[in-house]
Amino acid sequence: MTQERRGSTSPVRVAIVGFGVIGKRVAEAVQLQPDMELVGVADIFADWRLAEVARRDIPFFAATAEAVPAIEEAGGAVQGTLDDLLPQVDVVVDCTPKGVGAKNATRYRQVGVKFLVQGGEKHEVAGHSFVAEVNYRDAVGRDATRVVSCNTTSIVRTLHSLKTAELLARARGTLLRRATDPWESHLGGIMNTLVPEPEIPSHQAPDACTVIPDLDVVTMAVKVPETLAHVHFWVAELTREADRAEVLAAFRRSSRTVAVRADQGLGAVNAVKELMLDLGRPHGDLYEVALWEDLVAVQGREVYYAYMVDNQAIVIPENLDAIRALSGVTADPDESIRMTNESLGVGRIR
């Protein structure tokens, strides 16, 4: 049985399972929230990342009992195993690789702890898929939700903006997916090619419909040889004629979409990442959809636009809001989104 929260003044107790690209960012972000306590992270590695965990003063738990000897041999201070960690928390954030979260979900349910999985898992694993600006309220008090993938998050944010402005009839997108994450790009070798995903349409559009069921959206995707970010190109058909200003205003409805200008030197993903680093954001993370404002073009009832998605970062604010929703610490999406945005600097790029 899920343990109920003990009152609105005590912080939400959070565990993170899987301390990889997403897990370490969620950990860092949870530590910034006044209404959350990071009780511990669980993983199985026995390498340089142990020092990283220690440096951040995060209690470390072995995700499996078998992993304990190697972790201790590598100098890691093991606080126990996942079995010890789970009863201590209100919400588990599962950030394990695709497929592992589905297996873990069964365990979380057995223990009776609320959990959220990442977008690599199927919708059915949690029975609910989450993007804060769209369906925070649906997730309040639920046992589980799924923070959708980076690409899907960006699609949902932007199309929700157009839809809320009653402008969206349908949208067709081409998604350029970065080949690999920077931290493991030494494993892939130099890739001098383009690799279309093996099926058209690609899975991201149906995935967006797990959050907004009635979208008319189709996507195609292709793997490209760079590591910094995804870029999406869209053709959206509007419900009526609208000018550029109205379309830009619609996109601005999301506090997690920011406008950048190609004609001011930010016309490539490396330049936008450089700005994030200059801003002092951890890891140079871009939490927002970065929409190239000056490229947005309207012709008749169609709008054409392109934006950038930092696949390591865009879901981090969503994870924080999902923790709040599941725990029920606040039922108000705006309150959670505001707290998250302020703590991470979301929307502040100047």
Active-site residues: which are they?
150
> What angle, 0 to 180 degrees and rounded to 10, lies between the N-to-C axes of helices 333-344 and 316-327?
140
> What angle, 0 to 180 degrees and rounded to 10, lies between the N-to-C axes of helices 244-251 and 150-164?
130
Reading phi first (left if > 0) and then psi (alpha if -120 to 50, else beta), residue 75 is in: left
DSSP code at position 34: T
CB atoms within 10 A of CB 7: 7
Q: How far is the CB of 163 from a copy of itself (least distance, A)?
A: 19
Cα 41 to the center of its chain, rounded Å: 18
H or E element at residue 270: helix 269-278
Name the residue nearer to a copy of itself (CB basis): 167 or 309.
Answer: 309
Q: How far is the CB of 186 from a copy of itself (least distance, A)?
A: 13
H or E element at residue 138: helix 132-139
Q: How far is the CB of 229 from a copy of itself (least distance, A)?
A: 7
Give φ, ψ of 259 to 5 degrees.
-95, 130
Q: How far is the CB of 157 from a copy of itself (least distance, A)?
A: 19
Name the residue nearer to a copy of itself (CB basis): 74 or 235.
Answer: 235
Amino acid making up residue 319 = N
Give residues in contact with a copy of itself (CB under 8 A): 172, 174, 176, 191-196, 198-201, 218, 220, 222, 224-229, 231, 233, 235, 262-263, 267-271, 292, 295-297, 299, 302, 304-306, 308
Do 120 and 149 form a contact (C-beta atoms < 8 A)?
A: yes
Name the residue nearer to a copy of itself (CB basis): 13 or 177.
Answer: 177
CA distance 296 to 219: 19
Do 128 and 142 form a contact (C-beta atoms < 8 A)?
A: yes
Q: How far is the CB of 234 from a copy of itself (least distance, A)?
A: 9
Name the residue nearer to a copy of itself (CB basis): 105 or 309.
Answer: 309
Exposure string for 141-159, b = 16+ CB within 10 A, e = fewer = ebbbbbbbbbbbbbbbbbb
As given in the structure block, the two tokens for residue 306 are: 């392109």
Name the residue nearer to a copy of itself (CB basis): 156 or 175.
Answer: 175
Q: How far is the CB of 256 from a copy of itself (least distance, A)?
A: 21
